[in-house]
Amino acid sequence: MLQPGDPAPPFSLPDADMDRFHSDDLIGQKNLVLYFYPRDDTPGCTLEALEFTDLQPEFEAQDTEVIGISMDSCVSHGAFRDKHGINVRLLADLEGEVCQAYGIWQERERQGLTQYQVAPRTGLSASTLKAPKPSATTTRMLRCLDTLSTDCRISSLKRPRAKLATASL
């Protein structure tokens, strides 16, 4: 896991529309909030994506881009986005290389784990916080961006597994 002040690893991934996103393009321009989530279209991940969507104007007011990353495909991301009206950019890390570069993803944790990373416009990592539900986490991230202090930690959030009648990622 990155420590506060570590360089945020640069990356380039395709989004739901198969357009490439390059993290280096934001250095010096915007803050970046990355949320790494397990699967598209699960109850917790859907709630979280909708929270980020609802709060997008507040993040934009703080010159912050919010990006969701999972190991789902671009097609899965597009279906998830369109089904729920999500307007947060979702990136496909099919091989898990970005997840691994950020040191926050382990295969055994793939189910029910969301982790967060804030990279200020300097390209350095800020840290982590735990919250009981996505809405609390997104709100706390906004407060974190107000200060961008090194004690602002955005960390792993474990959720109980939800039982689904139908599940898709």
Task: Give residue 49's domain range.
Answer: 12-158
pTM of the model: 0.77
pLDDT of residue 77: 97
Q: Has 45 been annotated as catalytic? A: yes
Q: Higher model confidence: residue 168 or residue 82?
A: 82
Question: Is 17 domain-assigned?
Answer: yes
Question: Is 1 domain-assigned?
Answer: no
Confidence of residue 161 (pLDDT cuts 50, 70, 90): very low
Question: Is 134 domain-assigned?
Answer: yes
Percent of the chain with pLDDT over 90: 33
Q: How far apart are CA 42 and CA 102, in angstroms?
A: 23
Within 10 A of 158 (CB to CB), how many other CB atoms are there?
11
Q: How far apart are CA 67 and CA 151, in angstroms?
A: 22
Phi-psi region at 85: left, alpha or beta (left = phi > 0; alpha = psi -120 to 50): left
Q: What does the DSSP 8-state code read for residue 108?
A: G
Question: Is 165 domain-assigned?
Answer: no
Scan for tokens 């280096």, then name that residue. Answer: 24
pLDDT of residue 74: 98
- pLDDT tens string 62-117: 888 899 999 999 999 999 999 999 999 999 999 999 988 887 765 435 444 456 66
From the list 45, 99, 144, 152, the catalytic residue is 45
